[in-house]
């Protein structure tokens, strides 16, 4: 039995050596030509049977059209196929070690694309799977990350709407603060007019900073949205138009690209409101309280209401972070 096995291997090696020089010339342009699925590298495909999903050379096409079983099949010229359909046509990729044999397997141990002869000779005891099964697994992993990226794009879109709403909130808060200061100024003597003007300038600087922070936040969210969209589009193009070989070769890079896009997280708008950005005005108001004792109670009530509103905003932000954390798990 051992002698017979050795004899088979020798026969295979002899066959390989005899055909290597002939097949090397054929494989030099294998990436440019689509070969016939019936007769292999001997014939260049010029047509495709849409029902059998086979590429056919001219002689095989003639036989196919005149065969009793396939005479009514729809056959199209390869050049007239739509780009998306043409991209789906399986290109026959041949083994570097055995040029006349097509790559059909993936060695799990070596993580290499191999043919049947490679499996028999060099990868006999290695675990392997078909190219289509390996590509399906890569597609599955990429699709999961694509879905998560799409969800992140949706969340960023929602956050952008909140950022737009935050602009109005900032403007309303600014108007409210300035109006309160103007009301106080009217009740005070001219001595404190200069102090009120300084307070107004500081308030405007505070809200100017808020606007700048919110604008920077929106730019960053837009950049992350574009990164996710670009990564998803690239992955979708490979899955929709690439071959199984393309998916396997580029799958790792695509997964890394999608993972990077997913891990970059923008600061969401409500986090801005958690910062004590209004303290300069509050401190100045406290300094003026001895001069406007009649307004002390109303001022303290306003501060307490603002603190309660901030606490509610913080709670909403914590709830948002918990939901995102649960989703990403």
151-176: pLDDT as tens digits: 889 888 888 888 888 888 888 888 88
Distance from C-alpha of 113 to C-alpha of 313, rounded to nearest angstrom: 55
- Is CATH 1.10.8 the right assignment for the domain spanning 134-328? no
Model confidence pTM above 0.85: no
83-92 burial, b if ≥16 CB within 10 A, otherwise e?
Answer: eeeeeebbbb
Where along the chain do its domains lie? 2-133, 134-328
Note the pLDDT of residue 140. Answer: 92
Alpha carbon of 17 to those of 20, 24, 40, 186: distances in Å?
5, 11, 19, 102
Average pLDDT over residues 236-258: 82
Q: Dump pLDDT digits (tens) for 266-298.
A: 545 555 555 544 444 444 555 555 555 544 455
Do the first three CATH levels of 2-133 and 134-328 match, i.e. the same topology?
A: no
β-bridge partners, 107: 112, 128
Under DSSP, is residue 68 helix (H, G, I), strand (E, B) or coil? Answer: coil
Buried b (16+ CB within 10 A) or exposed e, 111-139: eebbbebbeebebeeeebeebeebbeebb
pLDDT band for position 212 (50/70/90)? confident
> pLDDT over 70 for what percent of the chain?
70
> Is the pLDDT at 134 greater than 80, yes or no?
yes
Mean pLDDT of 117-131: 89
Closest to 59 in 3D by CA, of 71, 46, 70: 46
- pLDDT at 19 exceeding the cut of 50: no
The answer, yes or no, to whether residue 143 has pLDDT greater than 90, is: yes
Q: For the chain, what percent of residues have pLDDT higher than 90?
A: 7
Q: What is the DSSP letter of 136?
A: H
Chain centroid to CA 103? 30
More confident residue, 195 or 156: 156
- How far apart CA 14 and CA 8 sit, in angstroms, is 10
> What is the mean pLDDT of the segment spanning 86-91?
54
Q: Does 3.40.50.740 match the CATH number of domain 2-133?
A: no
């Amino acid at each position: 039995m051992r002698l017979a096995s050795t004899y088979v291997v020798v026969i295979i090696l002899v066959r390989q050596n005899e055909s290597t020089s002939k097949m090397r010339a054929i494989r030099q342009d294998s990436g440019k030509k689509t070969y016939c699925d019936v007769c292999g590298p001997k014939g260049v495909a010029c047509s495709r049977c849409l029902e059998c999903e086979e590429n056919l050379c001219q002689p095989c096409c003639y036989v196919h059209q005149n065969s009793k079983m396939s005479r009514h099949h729809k056959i199209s010229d390869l050049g007239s196929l739509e780009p998306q359909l043409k991209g789906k046509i399986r290109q026959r990729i041949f083994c570097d070690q055995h040029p006349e044999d097509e790559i059909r397997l993936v060695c799990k141990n070596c993580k290499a694309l191999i043919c049947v002869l490679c499996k028999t000779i060099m990868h006999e005891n290695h675990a392997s799977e078909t190219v289509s099964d390996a590509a399906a697994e890569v597609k599955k992993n990429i699709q999961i990350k694509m879905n998560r990226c799409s969800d992140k794009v949706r969340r960023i879109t929602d956050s952008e709407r909140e950022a737009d709403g935050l602009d109005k909130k900032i403007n309303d808060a600014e108007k409210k603060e300035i109006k309160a200061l103007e009301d106080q100024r009217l009740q005070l003597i001219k001595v404190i007019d200069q102090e009120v003007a300084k307070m107004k300038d500081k308030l405007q600087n505070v809200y100017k900073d808020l606007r700048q922070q919110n604008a920077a936040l929106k730019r960053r969210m837009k950049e992350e949205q574009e990164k996710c969209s670009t990564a998803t589009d690239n992955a979708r193009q490979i899955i929709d138009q690439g071959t199984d070989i393309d998916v396997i070769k580029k799958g790792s890079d695509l997964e890394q690209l999608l993972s990077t896009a997913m891990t970059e997280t923008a600061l969401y708008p409500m986090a801005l409101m958690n910062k004590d950005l209004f303290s300069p005005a509050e401190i100045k108001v406290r300094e003026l309280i001895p001069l406007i004792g009649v307004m002390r109670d109303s001022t303290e009530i306003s501060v307490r209401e603002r603190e309660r509103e901030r606490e509610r905003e913080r709670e909403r932000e914590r709830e948002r972070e918990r939901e995102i954390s649960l989703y990403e798990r």
